[in-house]
Structure 1
Amino acid sequence: MKNKKSILAAAWLLVIPVLSIRAFTTLYPIAATIRNSFFDIKLLQGKNEFCGIKNYIFAFRDPKVLTSIEFTVIFVAASMILHIMMGVILALILNIKFKGQRFLRTIILIPWAMPAVVIGMAAKWGFNNDYGLINDLIRRFINPDFNYSWLIYKNSARFAVIVMDLWKDLPFFAILVLSGLQFISHDIYEAARVDGASGIQCFTKITLPLIAKNVATLTIPFTLWRLTSFDLVYSMTSGGPGEDTALIAYRITMEAFTNLNTGYAAALAVLLFIVMLIFTSLNMRLQTKMAD
């Protein structure tokens, strides 16, 4: 018994320094952000005054923030719907046995491995009207007189950001769905075909139900990544035209490091943190139900 206690004490002595560092680098910034959110901190003006919930009230009246929230909701919803639909289709294609299957599974992850800033810069050039790849292909194969500046109009700029986000992360999502498909036995499909089931029936009655848990588990973390997305918009559109492609994470960064309005940025960060806590709790509940 004494030996077990001494081993446990030694284990805690080894773990406590790591836990202390982790607590300092995680809990302290959170506490400091919550504290700053109740202060009017403007570094350029040397201002640091307690303002209560003024920052939170102004957040829901600020046109720039409301526009950011609007696009964030559109971005997250559209991106996740397309990720789920196209990710399942791509996973099914990758699950088909053919020559070069392993090679395709490897190279398809290249966009995901690339930094979002690099993709954003490439997309900024690719959607350019004069020398961009997109318009060049349209002029070659569809309409030789086509002229359109994608990133200077609200709807097309938002569309371009969503497309590039999908292009980057869809392969990774599909590979994770593919891992779920690998656990489905071919015997189930053979038995279904013997009973006269068509390919569509096999997909709807066997494949979809068996990968539903896998897809649902992936949806929430991918949603959280979309909520905190910053670098793609920063390098591709800089939030433009106007503020129409500014995601909420981008707006927080601009308020904190460009406008140096630290207190207001902290309030926005706390609101985003609350939203992420809600999604995290949903994820934990979902995984608990799936485990049962």
Structure 2
Amino acid sequence: MYRSKSKAMALLPWLLVLPVVILRAFTTIYPVTKTIRDSFFDIRLLAGKNVFCGFENYIRMFHDPKVLISIQFTVIFVFVSMFFHITLGVLLAMALNMKFKGQRFLRTIVLIPWAMPSVVAGMAAKWAFNNDYGLINDLIRRIVPSFQYNWLIYRGSARAAVIAVDLWKDLPFFAILVLSNLQFISGDLYEAAKVDGASARQCFTKITLPLIAKGVATLCIPFTLWRLTSFDLVYSMTSGGPGEDTALIAYRITTEAFTNLNIGYASAMAVVLFLIMMAFSLINMRITGSKKFET
């Protein structure tokens, strides 16, 4: 009797969480399997079409100029944005880690851009980069009165503007997370290094960087995935323009699914994006789990 009661008590936690597990499995597994299934069908709601097409959606994707442009900018967006997230994020974190008056206040206000919804940030940036009444050109005209430039109608500057706004918004949050890693480093290590005659540069390269490397690499996993699935910033700031030059792959998927109502084609792109995200996750997990990051 005691043994049966122990078994019942052991099963009780599982029974309590079972409804949540079932709900979570349904809301996760069903959409994924439905998307994979739809990717092999030509589903066009406007044409009333729903027929099996095999790998045609996948083949079409890599011959579609719009999709290729989206993939190109997505790669540029992810790598450039993450490069500056890492370099500037570490520098900002080190600045916030210094002891000075108003340190807590600065740590608080630096998070304001991150707390702002991406749609709001995108709309504000769209106004800021306007040639006639935008904040950016107004500041430049204080130095160069005759300056005229439409930032969001040229490919290079529009892409640079999207990346800059993404950095402005999410860099502070990245820096705060790096700061939490910095605060775990004992001050005794720096004191011992100074006694041995180490310079500030040597302290940074030999103590700080090795000890925060694994934390920074781990942070790159979610931040890279967020860049890959970024949609709302482009939607509110450029609507993918000029032309298709700032249309990230997530924006292209949304356009195909909800504007063109081409569900099958959008599902195929979503599956490819899912595989790319999974590959990034595996690479990052392999890197962060390697021995060179062990402390």
What TM-score results when the alignment is normalised by the length of structure 1? 0.97
- 1:178 is matched with 179
Partner deviation per Cα, 1:237-290 (whole Å, 9 max, x = no partner): 000000000000000000000000000000000000111111222333344445
- The answer to whether the aligner puts 1:157 opposite 2:158 as a matched pair is yes
Indicate whether 1:239 and 2:240 are aligned. Answer: yes
1:168 alignment partner in structure 2: 169
Aligned equivalent of 1:9, options 8, 11, 33: 11
Task: Report the CA distance between 1:22 and its aligned residue.
Answer: 0.7
Pair 1:60 & 2:62 matched: yes
Percent identity between matched residues is 73
The yes-or-no answer on 1:268 pairing with 2:269 is yes
Q: In structure 2, list runs of 5 or more residues that go unmatched.
A: none
SS at match of 1:45: coil
1:42 matched to which residue of 2? 44
- Counterparts of 2:149 and 2:29 in 1: how far apart (Å)? 48
Please give the residue correspondences for 1:117-132 in structure 2 after superposition, counting only pairs within 5 Å.
Answer: 117-132=119-134
Are the equivalent residues in 1 in contact too, given 2:111–2:172 (CA < 8 A)? Answer: yes
In 1: Cα distance, 2:26 partner to 2:215 partner: 34
Match for residue 51 of structure 1 among 50, 53, 77: 53
Q: Distance in 1 between matches of 2:157 and 2:179?
A: 32
Aligned partners of 2:13 and 2:221: how far apart in 1?
Answer: 34
- Aligned to 1:9, the other structure's residue is in SS state helix
- Alignment deviations for residues 77-133 of structure 1 (CA, whole Å, 9 cap, x no partner): 000000000001000100000000000000000000100000000000000000000
- In the alignment, the residues of structure 1 paired with residue 281 and residue 209 of structure 2 have an alpha-carbon distance, to the nearest angstrom, of 24
Question: Does the Cα contact within 8 Å between 2:214 and 2:294 map onto a contact in 1?
Answer: no
Residue 201 (structure 1) shift: 1.1
The residue type equivalent to 1:250 in the other structure is: Y
In the TM superposition, residue 4 of structure 1 has moved relative to its aligned partner by 2.2
**C-alpha deviation, 1:19, in angstroms:** 1.0
What is the identity, as a one-letter code, of the residue corresponding to 1:123?
A
Q: 2:77 aligned to 71, 75, 78, which one? A: 75
SS in 1 for 2:46: helix
Output the TM-score relative to the length of structure 2. 0.96
How big is the shift at 1:186? 1.2
1:153-197: CA deviation from partner (whole Å, max 9, x where unpaired): 000000000000000000000000000110111111111111111
Q: How many residues align?
A: 291
Partner amino acid, structure 1, of 2:64: D
SS at match of 2:185: coil
Secondary structure at the aligned position of 1:83 is classed as helix
Cα distance in 2 between the residues matched to 1:209 and 1:186: 15
Range 99-108 or range 279-288, more displaced: 279-288
1:148 Cα deviation from its structure 2 partner: 0.1
Q: Which structure 1 segments of 5+ residues have no match? A: none
Task: Give, as a single letter, the amino acid of the residue that structure 2 aligns with 1:170.
Answer: L
Question: What secondary structure is seen at the aligned counterpart in 2 of 1:49?
Answer: strand
Superposition deviation, residue 291 in structure 1: 6.6
Equivalent residue number for residue 202 of structure 1: 203
Q: How many Å separate the matches in 1 of 2:6 and 2:136? A: 67
Which residue in 2 is equivalent to 1:190?
A: 191
1:233 partner SS: helix
Equivalents in 1 of 2:11, 2:196: separation in Å?
Answer: 62
Q: Which amino acid aligns with 2:208?
A: T
Q: How far has the Cα of 1:8 moved from its partner?
A: 2.4
CA distance in 1, matches of 2:294, 2:230: 30
Q: Give the match's secondary structure for 1:44.
A: coil
Q: Distance in 1 between matches of 2:129 and 2:162?
A: 10
**Amino acid corresponding to residue 256 of structure 2 in structure 1:** E
| Bigger shift: residues 81-90 or 16-25 | 16-25
Q: Secondary structure at the match of 1:148?
A: coil
* Greater Cα shift, 117-126 or 18-27: 18-27
Letter of the 1:225 partner, please give it: W
Q: Which amino acid aligns with 2:26?
A: F
Separation in 1 of the partners of 2:87 and 2:12? 51
Measure, in 2, the Cα distance between the counterparts of 1:86 and 1:10. Answer: 49
Is 2:27 the partner of 1:31? no
Distance 2:9 2:95 in 1: 52
The residue matched to 1:242 in structure 2 has which SS? coil
Query: Secondary structure of the equivalent of 2:21?
Result: helix
Q: Does 1:89 align with 2:97?
A: no
